[in-house]
Amino acid sequence: MTQGSEPRKILLGEDDLPEAWLNIVPSLPSPPEPYLHPATRQPVGPDDLAPLFPMALIGQEVSAEPWIDVPGPVLDAYRLWRPTPLIRALDLERVLGTPARIYYKYEGGSPAGSHKPNTAVPQAYYNAAEGIARLATETGAGQWGSALAFAGARFGLDVDVYMVRASYDAKPYRRTIMETWGARVTPSPSPETAAGRAVLEADPDSTGSLGIAISEAVELAAARDDTHYALGSVLNHVLLHQTVIGLEARKQLDSVGAKPDVLIACVGGGSNFGGFTFPFLADKLAGKLDTRVVAVEPTAAPTLTEGSFGYDLGDQAGMTPLMPMYSLGAGFVPPPIHAGGLRYHGDSPLVSMLVRDGHAEAVAYPQSKVFEAAVTFARAEGILPAPEPAHAIRAVIDEALRCKEQGSAETIVFNLCGHGHFDLAAYADHLSGNLLDV
Ligand SMILES: Cc1ncc(COP(=O)(O)O)c(C=O)c1O
């Protein structure tokens, strides 16, 4: 299809909202390896996870069902901002002079400004349905904490957020938005928990990490019967909830007769990447679609490109199960880059497995190159991306320039998983030449 003959925004009606999430597990050539108990190294069972998660989510974590119904109250909440648009990046194509067709799925229009409410809402719903009063969590960039604060307010739950110190200092307004929705926000490492105190004793100026903040939130949740833990990425049920993104995108591309040659998303713990790509990867694994799938990460936390695959802990203090994944080591504290949501030592076991087995590829970029791409995109398309999806945009631009060199009119589709309105300090650093590559 030539430019101008298709709509710029490919929209779906509320009736097209997916009513079931797609579980990638039955599509995989072999089942994922189990999580192991950190003390016994035996596979964890539902009883091990019950102090932290509601049974409905534990069931989803190990489900082999291909589809899992979205509950009605979750669909009602999704309708506040879903379905989200798939947009043809005509102006970016023009600026780059590429024959490639570029589309992006825009998740920045949710109440919290990212894809994170897609899982925050069902997590809050299932916890409230099982009588839990409070959720404890960590947040890197503040996006996940905002999403859970929004979802907690909707289902009447108290929300306690441990926010990585580097982001707490750099993004004070993320804290304000969480507090507006009623959450309590504590900078991590904090003196409130044994895990936080241990880090502060060794390094009173610690900038924190997701791994440390997770330890603090898990510690709080494990100590109280009325409190559960909620994780914004990494786990199977989180990626499951995010598949609404890819399910909608697949329908939207079908409606204009487009097939993706390259799918691109950034990866922190893997949730927007998994949610966006799994419906397409299920088709690819079934031999129905031939597409490249590219995961993009920062060179400051190069988990998939430089980490090693094996069992590792999800947090720093050793409170979570051991998971089979690419990792830089649970003690790795990434330098404080602006893409706080990508500062994680590990990765989703499902995403790790797909990369290990060659079904997806991974690439890493330094933040200076990422912000150059973000500015190019903002000037062409208007939307100011969050630093995390700006990593995906860097890869999109490089793929589009490759298409230009090769004269190949490929279809490139990426997930623009959040806006950058709370990241203006990062843009200011970039525009004034003060952005460092670490
Ligand atoms: C806007 C945004 N994109 C991406 C990520 C990375 O997380 P994930 O890999 O789970 O999508 C985050 C995490 O906080 C985020 O806030």
Within 6 A (CB) of ligand 1 lie 114, 140-141, 143-144, 233, 266-273, 341-342, 386, 388-389, 417-418
What is the position in ligand 1's atom list of the atom closest to the CA of 234? 10
Phi–psi pair at 102, nearest 5 degrees:
-115, 130
Identify the residue whose C-alpha is closest to ligand 1 atom 10.
271
Q: Please tell me the residue having the least CA distance from ligand 1 atom 4.
A: 388
What was the pLDDT predicted at 183?
98
Residue whose CA is closest, atom 16 of ligand 1?
Answer: 143
Please identify which residue in the block is written with the tokens 């043809």.
88
Greatest CA span in the chain, whole angstroms? 62
User: Taking the CB of residue 302, how many other CB atoms lie within 10 A of it?
Assistant: 17
Dihedral Cα 233, 129, 69, 284, nearest 10 deg: 10
pLDDT for position 4: 52
Residue whose structure tokens are 């503040």: 142
CA of 163 to the centre of ligand 1 (A): 14
Phi, psi of 325 (to 5 degrees): -160, 165
For a pocket test of ligand 1, which of 138, 162, 342 has the largest count of ligand atoms closer than 8 A to its C-beta? Answer: 342
pLDDT at res. 238: 98
DSSP string, 293-322: EEEEEETTS-HHHHSEEEEEESSSSS-SPE
| 168 CA to centre of ligand 1 in angstroms | 16
Are residues 111 and 144 in contact, defined by beta-carbon separation less than 8 angstroms? no
Q: Which residue has the tokens 């936080």?
A: 196
Cα dist from 54 to 19, 128, 132, 167, 295, whole Å: 21, 9, 8, 29, 30
Q: Are 299 and 366 in contact (CB under 8 A)?
A: yes
Provide φ and ψ at 345, rounded to 5°.
Answer: -75, -25
Residue owning the nearest CA to atom 12 of ligand 1: 341
What is the gyration radius of the CA atoms in the chain, in angstroms? 20
**What residue's CA is closest to ligand 1, atom 1?**
418
CB 102 within 8 A of CB 267: no
Beta partners for residue 102, in sequence order: 412
Q: Which atom belonging to ligand 1 lies closest to the Cα atom of 269? A: 9
pLDDT score recorded for residue 161: 98
- 194-202 vs 210-223: helix axis angle to the nearest 10? 150
Distances (CA, A) of 436 to 385, 401, 433: 19, 25, 8
Nearest CA to 340 among 220, 228, 181, 175?
175
φ, ψ (nearest 5 deg) of residue 260: -70, 130
DSSP string, 75-135: HHHHTTTPSPPEEE-HHHHHHHT-SSEEEEEE-TTSTTSBSTHHHHHHHHHHHHHTT--EE
- Helix/strand/coil for 36: strand
E strand spans, 189-241: 227-229
Distances (CA, A) of 198 to 30, 203, 307: 40, 9, 26
> Over the chain (438 residues), what is each successive 10-residue block's mean pLDDT?
73 97 97 95 94 97 97 98 98 98 98 98 98 96 95 98 92 94 98 96 93 93 96 96 99 98 98 98 98 97 97 88 96 82 92 98 97 98 98 98 98 98 94 88
**Rounded CA gap, 194 and 321, in Å?**
18
Is the CB of residue 348 less than 8 Å from the CB of residue 327?
A: no
Ligand 1 test: best mutation among 243, 266, 297, 326, most atoms within 8 Å of CB?
266
Shortest-distance atom of ligand 1 to CA 232? 10
The three-state secondary structure class of 227 is strand
Please report the pLDDT score of residue 6 as a whole number. 83
Q: Determine the pLDDT at residue 383.
A: 98
